[in-house]
Structure 1
Amino acid sequence: MAEPDKLVAEIEALGNRIDAARQAVARRFIGQDQVVDLALSALLCGGHGLLVGLPGMGKTLLVDTLGRVMGLQTGRVQFTPDLMPADILGSEVLETAADGTRAFRFIQGPVFCQLLMADEINRASPRTQSALLQAMQEREVTVAGQHRPLPRPFHVLATQNPIEQEGTYPLPEAQLDRFLVQIDVAWPDRATERDILIATTGIEETESPQVFTAEELTDAQRILRRMPVGERVVEMILDLVRACRPGQPESAQGVNDSVSWGPGPRAAQALMLMVRARALLRGRLAPVPEDVAAMARPVLIHRMALSFAARARGEDLGALIDEIAQSATRAEAA
């Protein structure tokens, strides 16, 4: 089989597997199809996700279900103000053997897993939050001068309460940029909430079958990166990201007046991966401009910030990104 034909067959087969994984997740995490698609896309891209939503929205359930369906070893950390970096990374302890000799032994922290749930990450101090920076970027941690690789694949799905600010520490821009995508978990509609109510208050709990293994997910990530991207889509990604940066010749209308800082090159890389994942979830062999517009908000919203004046005027960053994305779509179609 020729290489292009082989790649087409691999993408189609992966699309079927991902569709089965999506249905498996939906058996426990009812409704919220957009949330499930974004979370699966983040795993397919080999990245990390920031789940933003009020308590009781099922964020923990989503992460637990994804771990089961994707066959990943999971870990969980409940972030609190008194949490220390060693509570996440692990530490060395001095042990005395039976013959009286002493030696240090490293005890791994919960970060040594394949899918880490960082619950309420903004409740930890900046010192503790920064303990995840190296893990999220380099997939390794440094303890006592020793570099210790993390299991592969390695993903972080962190949760954050969007309204409670007391006793929290906002994530720094450097850490926000390491999240591939922000996933907003909103209230379910009435029909979905009715289904949740009936499905979760009975005697038996619905289980989701395992669809992938960790090794198969790693293979899927390689296939996704081989998916071809047309020149039109590449140029649209560049136009969109560069239009969101204030003080640049390509800045979109309103960006200079409303945005204090914009996305860097890592945002363009994230958008390139996420449009491939969306195309795969939609059963296509390559992304189209519609995928770029759809992924703009979740990829860019945590990589930008409104100015103080824009916040005082009541402007909405998500709406601004959507407007810029639609303008880029119209310009591409013209």
Structure 2
Amino acid sequence: MASKRRFGIGAKKNRNEALPSSQVDDHIAALRAFVQEHKNKRKPARSSGKLRVFADCAGIGSETIALGLLGFREQDFEFVGGTEIDSTKQCMLQAVHKAFKLSTKKEQLQRDIFDRSLEIAFRFPKPLKCPRLSSFLDTGRIGNYKADLASYEERHGASIWNETLVLDIGASPSWQSKMHGLCPCLIRTRCKQKGYYLPKQRRLLDGVECARFQGVPAELYRRMLSNVMRKTNHTTEEGAEKQIMGALGDSMSVNVLMRILPRALKAASLWPASLKFKDPWAESSDLASLSDRLFEAAFRDD
């Protein structure tokens, strides 16, 4: 590894003092020389041309779910390691890996960033039309829990009880806002508390709906639920549900990854030749059930 001195790093400088442009140019030149020097020293270590997935703070393994729903199978990718130390989340990951027939290996990831040239320029996907909020919710299921919405009523009126909304009732009053046609950002703490409320349905947002918002198939959610209840001390459905909802709130949305990963892999020449390049989220008219349909189609015979 190059020393800090090689790049002129380490000298004491006033934090408010800008570096001379000549010194910046020297740094850039040194970095370019370093990359060129090491460019061909590290060869890709691949297993039968498979894409190797290393998950840092794995959560529920959103990238694995996304790739699996895009058509990747065990011959196309493998899990080579991760940094998730939470035993409950490990159970969720085991359920995900088992569903997609992946084995977990404890080997180090061999990065080959210097050895890959871009096949095409990476471009972010075009935005999609926002689907109806109600399509992600089981609106016909009515509960009997009437939460204290005094601060919401004061701001938005009593009509909120008749609107299809998802409210963050765990937020402080100054952050309690009504989002028309949108779900508030699902965060780990609030999901784990089950702190999102559906006023018209008189109940809390549940695990299946939370998974649906994150693009996770309901069947995969149920498998994670079963695994957590069997293998951890969260043996009740409610306790396991809170753990999984917390992990969902801590994870990247599968639908986002399914739109970005194919373009990134294509640009890096890593998209399997056997798979058709596709963007199912741009092609479907029913986005709320898309993950369920993709999962069912992929594992219909399991």
Tell me the TM-score range normalised by the shorter chain. Answer: under 0.3
TM-score (norm 2): 0.23
Q: Which structure has more helix as a fraction of its residues?
A: 1
Q: Which structure has more strand as a fraction of its residues?
A: 1
TM-score (norm 1): 0.22
